[in-house]
């Protein structure tokens, strides 16, 4: 999702979701060049996308694969090399949680079936 990079935009977006009783399960965001780029994982993705379209937000949806990797240096590199070596393009990564000695991440990819077979 793309938002203007200005004060109050996250609040507007969060209010749209909150008023529709849509919960944000995970998110990541960064800004550059006057725009903010967000990845959201919500409990009602179809409804959220309809609301974002209605509000005029530039957005796209993507199915993600949730992966559990060791919480240690190099674990993400190993996963990325495995996927990249098989021709799978990683398009987004969102940290979900750290449990004990493992990390759960949601990865958006260009070839979901291939990614699932590799992880």
**Tens digits of per-residue pLDDT, 67-108?**
999 999 999 999 999 999 999 999 999 999 999 999 999 999
Q: Are 32 and 47 in contact (CB under 8 A)?
A: no
Do residues 83 and 104 both lie within one domain? Answer: yes
pLDDT digits 0-9 by tens, 7-36: 999 999 999 999 999 999 999 899 988 899
Total domains, the chain:
2
Q: What is the pTM of this model?
A: 0.80
Do residues 8 and 25 both lie within one domain? Answer: yes
Four-CA torsion 13, 5, 108, 48, nearest 10 degrees? 20
Do residues 50 and 72 both lie within one domain? Answer: no
Dist CA 57 CA 115 (whole Å): 29
Do residues 102 and 78 both lie within one domain? Answer: yes
Residue 79 structural domain: 64-118
């Amino acid at each position: 999702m793309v938002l203007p990079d200005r004060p109050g935009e996250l609040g507007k977006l969060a209010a749209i979701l909150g008023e529709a009783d849509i919960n944000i399960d995970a998110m990541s965001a960064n800004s550059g060049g006057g725009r903010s780029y967000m990845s959201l994982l919500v409990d009602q993705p179809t409804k959220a996308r309809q609301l974002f379209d209605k509000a005029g937000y530039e957005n796209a949806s993507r199915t993600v694969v949730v992966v559990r990797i060791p919480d240690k240096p190099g674990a993400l590199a190993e996963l990325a090399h495995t996927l990249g070596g098989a021709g799978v393009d990683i398009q987004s990564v969102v940290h979900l949680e750290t449990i004990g000695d493992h990390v759960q991440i949601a990865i958006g990819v260009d070839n979901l079936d291939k990614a699932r077979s590799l992880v």
